[in-house]
Structure 1
Amino acid sequence: MTTIDDFAAGFADEAGWFDFASFGPMGTGVVQEARALTELQSRSRHGSVVALDEQAGRARRAVAALTGFPTDHVVFQPSTSQGMLHTLFGLTGALALSPREYPTTPLTATRASSALRVLDTVWLDVPDDAVTPAVLREHLTPSVTAVAVSVVDYRTGYLADLEGIRQVIGDRLLIVDGIQGFGVVDAPWAVADVLVTGGQKWLRAGWGTGFMALSDRALTDLTPVFSGVHGSEITLGGSYERGAEPAPGAAAFQLSRPDPIAEARLATSLEEIAAVGIRPVAGAVAERATRLIDLADEFAVPVASSRVESERAGIVVLEPEPQHLTALTASLMNHGVSATVRSTSVRLSTHVSNGEDSFGLLREALMSYGSAIAY
């Protein structure tokens, strides 16, 4: 069993990186694995392709270990967007979702509705931008066949109550965008019918990595519209000379053969998380998020995201007075602190590799900001 300190030592990002909700610098183990397989691929010795072929199964097993989904219910995806594309274009009926979800989901739902005309959208009226069981209860009608939600809202950092949502929606499909929480949240993933996520943020596996996990019900109800050659029975020995049926299970939801090095990066990341355990990782991230809130309070920077630990993960949103946003942004930049700045807010996001040096830089930035607005 790996300790949380050993896990944190496996990352080499420089001090001041508080933007994991945008991109998580790859872990040392991930980089080493990719380098080794890249070298293997460049030499292409006899039999070397076997090691590359093994990465697909390795990635599925790693996903299954952290989600509880069977391996044949898991398929690699190069991004959350592609996984959501497979999901929503394969869905019929009416989908309930917030219009303020990350654009991937609303955009894909709109495209699917326009293109195939078998999917309707029910837009949620979401007070405080939090998709809660109570909000969903008010919008559910017999025509709603599925609900889509982000486990963590990308703007507010709000952590959804997946178990509560499942209880409210009954046997409707629950589609979860997990990218802002998977790897740092100890969530009940098995209550989802579809879980899609990318690996470039909290998993720190780099771009081009991700997965889609489906329940038995999802495999029955979703149509694999974009089932390409690698998602067809051709890979099982079917004929190349005519159209083939989709492959059985989750394998149908893929377009082409995935990059085996990307699969290896994802698998390495997930294996390292499994070795330490998701609860210690979630606890370490929660403790660092609390430190962010405490620092904001110390320098009187308003916190717009939830202070309740059960309603947040690794994201803390600061919302200074509008006339002070530029000063805060400049101070963070001048002190080497990376964050996401939007029109009215600054989003800080933290991971286990944020040590004292990172929090020291943030303290200096906030101190400088406080001095500037006081002056």
Structure 2
Amino acid sequence: MAAGGAVEQSYLVRRADPDDVDTIDALYDRLYGDGNFSEALAIFHAVDKGFLTNQDLRVKFLLSLVETSFMSVTVEDEEGHVVGFAVLDDTPLHLSASEARAPWLDANWPYISTFLCPIFFLLPLALSKSPRQALQNPYVLGWLPVAFYCWHQTEEHAHDFRGWRYSFVPNFNHSVGALLFQSCETIGHLSCPLNTRITLYVNVMVVWVGFVGTMVSAHYLGGIVNWGMSVVNAFAGHLLPFLFMGYNPGAFQSIFMFLFGIYAISRGGRRLAAASIVNGVLFHIITFGVGTNLVLVAHWPQELMAVLSVVGTWPMPLLVARYLAPKQYDKLEDLDDSENEESP
């Protein structure tokens, strides 16, 4: 009994159930519908504020908290109404790759890319007589995807344009990834479709191994073909989602990567440019469409993503360059479509 003869209200605290999510969402909307709390919650969980103001996305987000947290509880009053919700021992999603949760390389490879970025930008230019000559040299253009992608990885996985640490994985898992991979509804969005290890495999194998291996190998125009993959990723993976869903980590740099990539692939003629774009689309279909589903649904080893990433950015571009690249020439600017014959 409370003082003054008032009847003390009793509450029931129980483990939250996925079936509670609609009631929890209604409670959130009633308490924080004005959006004042959404910004702080979005920063804590490294998601765009739009995920909390859009009801459909917010329901999926709240469901992921119920499914993936150490413990989530709801509070019911005497009439069975949910009047409270708490997530216990929950780690902010943008810290899911911290040293306490993932191996050192999984957590810190983006900073290695940040360190390599200026080196790969300056070294090819330093070996050319002038910047103009460098931009006409297919070998320089072939190496520049490495530099641009290291820059891209810095914003995407190290610290994004807002200063948030490792925010691409949770952002993707709760937005585009949630739309493309329905199996994540049952697996949970904390590590589906991307986790720190898959992210490491794809990024390191594509840029440090695939892109570099292509340029070390025989045909330098293979590097220009890899610009097609970069253009497709920048446009479909970042710029389109930015237009429809707001900022995503890597979107700002993608503007520059997309524009320069269009310039780079155009230097090899229309046929090679079209083939480069097709190669980029195939890379994403094979690696992310087929590969990710084999890992998530068929439970294939995650190392499959590393293998597909290398194949799609090393042997495939070299094959495209071998059969579709122009014959011998001195400057890319001297090319015209009549030169786009198959290499011997």
TM-score, length of structure 2 as denominator length: 0.28
Higher helix share: 2
Higher relative contact order (CA 8 A, sep 6+): 1
Higher strand share: 1
TM-score, length of structure 1 as denominator length: 0.27
